[in-house]
Amino acid sequence: MSAAAVQSVQVNPAHTMAKRPVQAIELVEGLGVLGDAHYGATVQHRSRVRQDPAGPNLRQVHLIQGELLDELAGRGFRLRPGQMGENITTRGVDLLALPKHTIMTIGPEAMVLVTGLRNPCTQLDGVQNGLMAAVLERSAGGALIRKAGIMAIVIQSGRVRAGDAIRLHAPPEPRRPLDKV
């Protein structure tokens, strides 16, 4: 396995699915990605705002592993980083296997705390037909497996660029698996 690193970074000030690639993003402690539609201490995702507009924003940063894009390409999907709404596309780390509350140091100073799995929505089918179903699977026991990335909050500010190293810091035992957030 190669060293964990950032493949690309993306941002979008509008509440649309795709985010545009940029040279760098600025993570701001307690708020998220500067200039992104989901920036803020309280919930910013429109469906969540309708439920509880004062709730904490546990979805400040969206990360997807680049290996998922490779897998989807093998199934006929043509996706570029950011098209599924992620701020950070990674390489060399199995994001979905991380325990809840893993701390990720990204680049020289930025740190995020993993809060949970992204719950894919039907907007993915607007990117490419069938994409939502492609990022959902069932385990042998019938449990739903969400593959559309993870969500995190920023716990230490810093700039993040493609090529930056990612270091993982596991939470103390007992560790809990990720669930939708």
Give whole-number Cα distances, 120 to 127, 157, 166, in Å: 12, 27, 24
Residue 141: predicted pLDDT: 94
User: pLDDT tens across 46-70, in order?
Assistant: 777 678 878 899 999 999 999 999 9
Q: Is 41:31 a contact under the CB 8 Å cutoff? A: yes
Which residues on neighbouring strands pair with residue 158, listed in sequence order? 27
CATH architecture of 5-169: Beta Barrel (2.40)
Which residues in the chain land under pLDDT 70?
1-2, 49
**Residue in the block written with tokens 């596991």:** 170
**How many Å apart are CA 45 and CA 16, to the nearest integer?**
10
Q: How far is residue 44's CA from residue 42's CA, in Å, rounded to a whole number?
A: 6
Question: Tell me, what's the pLDDT at 50?
Answer: 76
Give residue 1's pLDDT.
Answer: 43
- Residue 101: per-residue pLDDT: 98
166 φ, ψ to 5°?
A: -120, 125
Best CA proximity match to 83, nearest among 42, 48, 113, 126? 126
